Amino acid sequence: MEDVYILAIESSCDETSVSIVKNGKEEINTVILSQIDIHKKFGGVVPEIASRSHVENITIVIEECLNGSNMKIEDMSAIAVTYGPGLAGALLIGVEAAKTLAFIYNKPLIAVHHIAGHIYANNLNYKLKFPLISLVISGGHTELIYMKKDYSFEKIGGTLDDSVGEAYDKVARVIDVPYPGGPVIDKYSKKGKNVYKLPLPMDDGSYNFSFSGIKSAVINLVHNEKQRGNEINKYDLACSFQSIVIDILTKKTMKAVKEYKVKQLLLAGGVSASIGIREKFAELCEKENIELLVPELIYCTDNAAMIAAAAYYMYKDKKFADFDLKIKPTDDLK
Ligand code: KG4
Ligand code: ZN
């Protein structure tokens, strides 16, 4: 097969990103325009503001990506886009832009599931070996996905309420850390001690998770300490929270890794940027002799390179979308 160049668009949340990737592996150019600074003052992503910002920036980001790549849209084999899950208005901007490019330049259109993108971020640096398990931990998701082969996904468990990223961001807010709190909690955690007692959430035999309880437990703990006139040590609280998160994530994931006899464990999604989480999984995987893949930090949070990487496998199978492609703000990975 001749070289495949895919231009991908990602706009499911608060990043407007466009990337060109060769053969699902080689990044030609990626532009990520993050809206974090805009949303920070509201303490989280405001959907309407996110949509407006995507509208304002999408053509600029497409142009910048092409300019930096020395390629033209005519050189592309296909146009890919995240169709879901995500914020409806935000998804719509990317999907309409992708449809327009595909229509005008007569290119196949590829609709990529956001979680498939997060998993395939690992493909940009490594070779995937099957069967594998991927733990997807982000602001919108906490899922354990089993893959027998390329582009085959079986969800074996997931969160029943909040995502792990949401819990990080809420706990951060309680100790006055601005959005997104995950990276700061991870940093504070290194400086603190695991002294605050928090419950291990959903400690059962299943592969499902629950993070709303731990979020409430942290809020109650801070409230009670304040009422007693005690000052909260934010480093210790961050460390205690992250320790519990690591305990439950590693307990269930390593159980799945053994039960499904996989060759690799892949971490994916924004929360997999956590150094604390990476270090613990590295230690456990070494002990169990399982190959651990973690994306480069830049590919952990939302970006279009991961969407182009996933789209390559759909291109090979000629899984193209029609021009009546609809966004799916909620959609399971199948
Ligand atoms: O994958 P992502 O960019 O967006 C979604 O698809 O949701 O993930 C964003 C989430 C946020 O909750 C953010 O706080 C968290 O990833 N995050 C981290 C770190 N970097 C980002 N959480 C823990 N440690 C980090 N270093
Ligand atoms: Zn994401």
Euclidean distance between CA atoms 288 and 125, whole angstroms: 23
pLDDT at residue 314 in the model: 97
Considering every ligand atom shown, identify the ligand nearest to the alpha carbon of residue 295 and give its number. Answer: 1
Q: Is the pLDDT assigned to residue 42 strictly greater than 90? A: no
Is the preceding omega at residue 201 within 30 degrees of 0, hence cis? no
- Which residue puts its alpha carbon closest to atom 10 of ligand 1? 139
CB of 180 sitting under 6 A from ligand 1: yes
Ligand 1: distance of its center to the CA of 230 in Å?
30
Q: Which ligand 1 atom is at minimum distance from the Cα of 180? A: 14
CATH H superfamily, domain 5-120+299-316: ATPase, nucleotide binding domain (3.30.420.40)
Which mutation among 271, 275, 279, 296 tests ligand 1's pocket best, with the greatest number of atoms within 8 A of CB?
271
Euclidean distance between CA atoms 310 and 123, whole angstroms: 8
| Tokens representing residue 54 in the block | 């995507």
pLDDT at residue 60 in the model: 97
Buried b (16+ CB within 10 A) or exposed e, 244-279: bbbbbbbebbbebbeebebebbbbbbbbbbbebbbe
CB of 109 sitting under 6 A from ligand 1: no
Segment 307-316 shows an average pLDDT of 98
Residue 209, beta-bridge partner list: 159
Domain residue ranges in the chain = 5-120+299-316, 128-294
CB of 295 sitting under 6 A from ligand 1: no
Which mutation among 13, 14, 134, 138 tests ligand 1's pocket best, with the greatest number of atoms within 8 A of CB?
138
- Which residue puts its alpha carbon closest to atom 16 of ligand 1? 270
Of residues 176 and 156, the one with the higher pLDDT is 156
Euclidean distance between CA atoms 321 and 318, whole angstroms: 9
pLDDT band per the 50, 70, 90 thresholds, residue 39: confident
Concatenating the DSSP letter of every residue in 19-58 gives EEEETTTEEEEEEEEE-HHHHHTTTS--HHHHHHHHHHHH
CB of 181 sitting under 6 A from ligand 1: yes
pLDDT at residue 63 in the model: 97
pLDDT at residue 179 in the model: 85
Q: Is the pLDDT assigned to residue 251 strictly greater than 90? A: yes
pLDDT, one tens digit per residue, over 174-230 is 998 888 899 999 999 999 999 999 999 899 999 999 999 998 999 999 999 999 999
Three-state SS at 62? helix
CB of 83 sitting under 6 A from ligand 1: no
Q: Is the pLDDT assigned to residue 1 strictly greater than 80? A: no
Segment 23-44 shows an average pLDDT of 91
pLDDT band per the 50, 70, 90 thresholds, residue 8: very high
The residue behind tokens 């951060």 is 172
Q: Model pTM greater than 0.85?
A: yes
- Which residue puts its alpha carbon closest to atom 11 of ligand 1? 139
Average pLDDT, the chain: 95
Segment 56-71 shows an average pLDDT of 97
pLDDT at residue 38 in the model: 86
Ligand 2: distance of its center to the CA of 141 in Å?
8
Ligand 1: distance of its center to the CA of 269 in Å?
7
pLDDT at residue 40 in the model: 86
pLDDT band per the 50, 70, 90 thresholds, residue 293: very high
- According to DSSP, residue 152 is labeled -
pLDDT at residue 334 in the model: 85
Segment 111-125 shows an average pLDDT of 97
- Of 165, 6, 144, 163, which is closest to residue 75 (Cα–Cα)? 6
In the chain, DSSP finds a helix count (H) and a strand count (E) of: 11, 10
Q: What is the CATH number of domain 128-294?
A: 3.30.420.40
pLDDT at residue 178 in the model: 86
CB of 171 sitting under 6 A from ligand 1: no
Q: What angle do CA 205, 209, 215 make, to 5 degrees?
A: 130
Same fold, 5-120+299-316 and 128-294: yes
Q: What share of the chain is helix, strand, coil (3-state, %, to 5)?
A: 45, 20, 35
